[in-house]
Amino acid sequence: MIVPLDTSLIFFTLLSLALTILWFYANRKIPNPRNLPLPPGPTPLPIVGNIFDIPKDFPWLTYQSLSQKYGDVVHLRIMGQSIIIASTSEVAIELLEKRSANYSDRATSAIIPLLGCDWVVGLMPYGHRWRRTRQIIHQYFNRRTVEKYREIQIRETGRFLRDLLTDSDRFTISSSLIMYGFEPQDDKYFFLLEKASESTAEGLVSGTFLVEFIPFLKYIPSWVPGAGFQKKFAEWRAASAGLRDIPFGVAKEAFNAGTASSCIETALLEKISRNGGEYAVEEEEFAKDALATAHEGGADTTFSLIHWFFAAMLAHPEVQKKAQAELDAVIGPRRLPTFSDRDSLSYINAVVLECLRWFPVIPVAPHRATADDEYNGYFIPKGSLVVPNIWALARDASVYAEPEDFNPDRFLKDGKLDPDVADPSTLVFGFGRRSCAGRHLADASLFITAASVLHVYEISPHLDEMGRPAPFRPAMKPGAFLYLVPFKCRIKPRSEKAEKLVLATMDPQENLSVPAL
C-alpha cells in the first residue's frame, strides 16, 4: 500500500534541512591567519547576521548612513557572507582598480540562473566565458570604434525628436541597428526587452526571494506551497532567453541569405565563418552573450540617463534656459547639434556630467575577493563581496559641494570644463576589469540627445485639472537599479523654426547601416 505524502510536510522538512545547513554555514569560523580585525560595522545577529540592518529598497542610502557612523570601510555579515562597503573613491580605486586582479570576480548566486540572465557579462563570474565575451564588447565599443556609430546615433536622435512631437512619453532610443542591423517593429520584441530588464531590476534586489539564501529551494516545484516564485522565474527566464536568441537569429538568417546590413553581428559572423569548426560553435555563443548584454545594458542605461535628464530639466528650468542660451549662440536656429560641436558646448557637457553624477543608474556594484586581503589594517576575507557605494561616491561633499543639488556649474571654470573637478564617469561606470565597456556609447548618446532636445524643445511641468503647473520632485523606484518613478511633463517645440528642424530630420524608412567594422 502506497501512502500519499503531505506536500506541506515535504516542504517544511526540506526547509528545516536547508536551515540547518545554513546555520552551520553562517556560523563557520573565517580563517584569519594574521588575526587582523574586520572593518567596523553593526553587530550581527546569530545566523542571519545583519540582514535586518539593510532594507530591501534603496540599500545604498543605508550604506551611506553606515559609512557616516563607522567610516569609509564598513563590514556586514549576512547569512554567513561577508560584505565590505567602500564609501569613498580612495577605497574603491585602491581595491577595485589597483588590486583588480583580486576583485574582478562576481558573486555566485542561485538567483542569476533562475532569472535566466547568466549570459549578462556584468553578472558572469571571472573566467574564460567572461573574458572572451568582454573582449568582444570592448572590441566593438571602445572609444575609437564608437565614433563609427555617430551617423546612426544622429539618425536615432532625429527619430526620437519626431516621436516627442506626437508622444511626449517616448523616452527610448533604439540600439538594435548598431547591434543586429535591423530595427524591430514587433511589440513582442519590446516586451522581451522590458521583461528581461524587469527580471534583473526586481530579481537582483537582495532579500526579495528566500532562494537567494537557501539555494536548495530552487529544486522545489512551483505547485508546492510557498514556491510561487518559480512561476515568476520561468516567465523571466523565457524573456531573457528570447532577448538573447531571437534578434541574433533574425540577423543570422539575413547573413546566411546574403542580405545582412553592416552591423556588429555581421562582422562577428564573418569572422566566425572564416574560422569554422568547434571554434565557431563556442564563438557564436559568446557573440550572443556580448550582443544581448550590450543591447539590454545599452537600452537600460540610455533610457534611464535620458529619463533622469528630462527630470533634471523639469526640476531645474534655470539650467534648461542656460543650456539653450549656449546652444542658440553656438549652433543657431538653422540646424541641429552634431558631435563636431561638442568641444564648443561646455555647458551642455557639464549638464551631461551632472546627469551622470546626480542619480547614477547602477548605485551599487558588488565585486568578489578571490583571496584574503588587507586594507588599512583591516582583514578582507576571501569570498567577501566588496561593494563600492557609487551613490555615496557621487555624493561625496568633499568632492562635490552641496551634492544633493543639480548644478552643472560645479564642473566649469571660466566657461570651460574644470579638469580639477573629478569626472563622475570614472565612478558611475564601475571600476577595474568590471567597468562598463559600453560607457563611451552611453556618454555619446546622452550628449547628442541632451543637446538636440534642448535645442528644439521646451520641457515644462504637466498641468493639473485647474490648468496650473503641477509640482514635480523626482523620485526613485524600488529595485536594484536607479530608475525614476514615471512622471508627466509637457514637451513643446521652442518655436516654429524648431519644429521644422525636427520634421526635417532623416526619413525613418531610409536605409542606413553601420560603417564597415
- For the record, the C-alpha cell of 262 comes out as 553592416
Model pLDDT, residue 62: 95
Mean pLDDT in residue range 429-452: 92
Give the pLDDT mean for 1-14. Answer: 48
pLDDT at 15: 56
pLDDT at residue 28 in the model: 58
221-267: pLDDT as tens digits: 888 877 788 898 999 999 999 989 988 888 888 888 887 777 777 88
Residue 187, in any domain of the structure: no
What average pLDDT score do residues 335-345 get?
97
Q: Is 18 helix (H, G, I), strand (E, B) or coil?
A: helix
Mean pLDDT of the chain, nearest integer: 86
Q: List Cβ neighbours of 416 (8 Å cut-off, separation of 6 or more).
A: 346
Query: Distances from the Cα of 315 to the Cαs of 461, 475, 489, in angstroms?
Result: 9, 12, 11
Angle at 435 between CA 434 and CA 437, to 5 degrees: 110
1: confidence class by pLDDT, cuts 50, 70, 90: very low
> Domain of 417?
149-171+295-362+398-517
d(CA 246, CA 321): 44
d(CA 400, CA 392): 11
With a CB cutoff of 8 Å and minimum separation 6, the contacts of 140 are 264, 267, 290, 294, 517
Distance CA 20, CA 472 (A): 50
What are residue 179's phi and psi, to 5 degrees? -75, -55
pLDDT in tens, 61-114: 999 999 999 999 999 999 889 999 999 999 999 999 999 999 999 988 888 999
Which residues share a beta bridge with 181?
none
Per-residue pLDDT tens for 460-512? Answer: 998 888 888 888 888 888 888 888 888 888 999 999 999 999 999 866 555 54
pLDDT at 173 over 80: no
Residue 47 binned pLDDT confidence (cut-offs 50, 70, 90)? confident
Q: Residue 43's pLDDT is what?
A: 95
Give the model's pLDDT for residue 180.
56
- Higher-confidence residue of 268 and 379: namely 379
For residue 133, is pLDDT > 50? yes
- Domain count along the chain: 1
% of the chain with per-residue pLDDT over 70: 87
Q: Give residue 6's pLDDT.
A: 47
Strand-pairing partners, residue 459, are 491
Structural domain includes residue 470: yes
Look up the CATH number of the domain holding residue 447. 1.10.630.10
Of the candidates 459, 486, 436, 455, the residue with the CA atom closest to the CA atom of residue 146: 436
Whether 382 is covered by a domain: the verdict is: no
Task: Provide the greatest CA pair distance for the chain.
Answer: 90
Task: Give the span between the Cα atoms of 420 and 209, in whole angstroms.
Answer: 44
Task: State residue 353's pLDDT score.
Answer: 98
* Percent of the residues in the chain that have a pLDDT greater than 90, as a whole number: 52
Segment 350-353 long-range contacts (CB within 8 Å, at least 24 positions apart): 350/408, 350/409, 350/410, 350/411, 350/412, 350/417, 351/309, 351/312, 351/319, 351/323, 351/408, 351/450, 352/443, 352/446, 352/447, 352/450, 353/408, 353/411, 353/417, 353/423, 353/424, 353/425
Residue type, 470: A
pLDDT level of residue 4 (50, 70, 90 thresholds): very low
- Select, from the ranges 63-67, 180-184, 217-221, the one with the highest average predicted confidence (pLDDT): 63-67
Burial category of 338 from C-beta neighbours within 10 Å (exposed 0-12, middle 13-18, buried 19 and up): middle
Residue 38 lies in a domain: no
* 8-39 pLDDT, tens digit each: 545 555 555 555 555 555 555 677 777 899 99
- Angle, helices 496-503 vs 150-166, to 10°: value is 130
In angstroms, the CA 430 to CA 33 distance is 31
**pLDDT the model gives residue 172:** 54
pLDDT of 323 above 90:
yes
Residue 199 CA to residue 219 CA, distance in Å, equals 20
Is 84 within the bounds of a domain? no
Nearest CA to 281 out of 290, 272, 289, 270 is that of 272
Is the full-model pTM beyond 0.85? yes
Residue 371 lies in a domain: no
pLDDT at 54 over 70: yes
Rounded CA gap, 124 and 327, in Å? 42
Q: Which long-range contacts (CB under 8 A, 24 or more apart) does 484-487 make?
A: 484/304, 484/307, 484/308, 484/311, 484/359, 487/311, 487/314, 487/462
How much is the pLDDT for 224? 80
The stretch 318-335 carries a mean pLDDT of 97
pLDDT for 235: 92
Q: What digits encode the pLDDT tens for the residues 380-406?
A: 999 999 999 999 999 999 999 999 999
Determine whether 375 is exposed, middle or buried from the number of CB atoms within 10 Å of its CB (0-12, 13-18, 19+): middle
What pLDDT band is residue 3 in, cutting at 50, 70 and 90? very low
436 labelled ligand-binding = yes
Query: Could you tell me if residue 61 is inside a domain?
Result: no
**C-alpha distances out from residue 384 to 20, 175, 475, Å:** 22, 36, 32
Say if 471 falls within a structural domain. yes
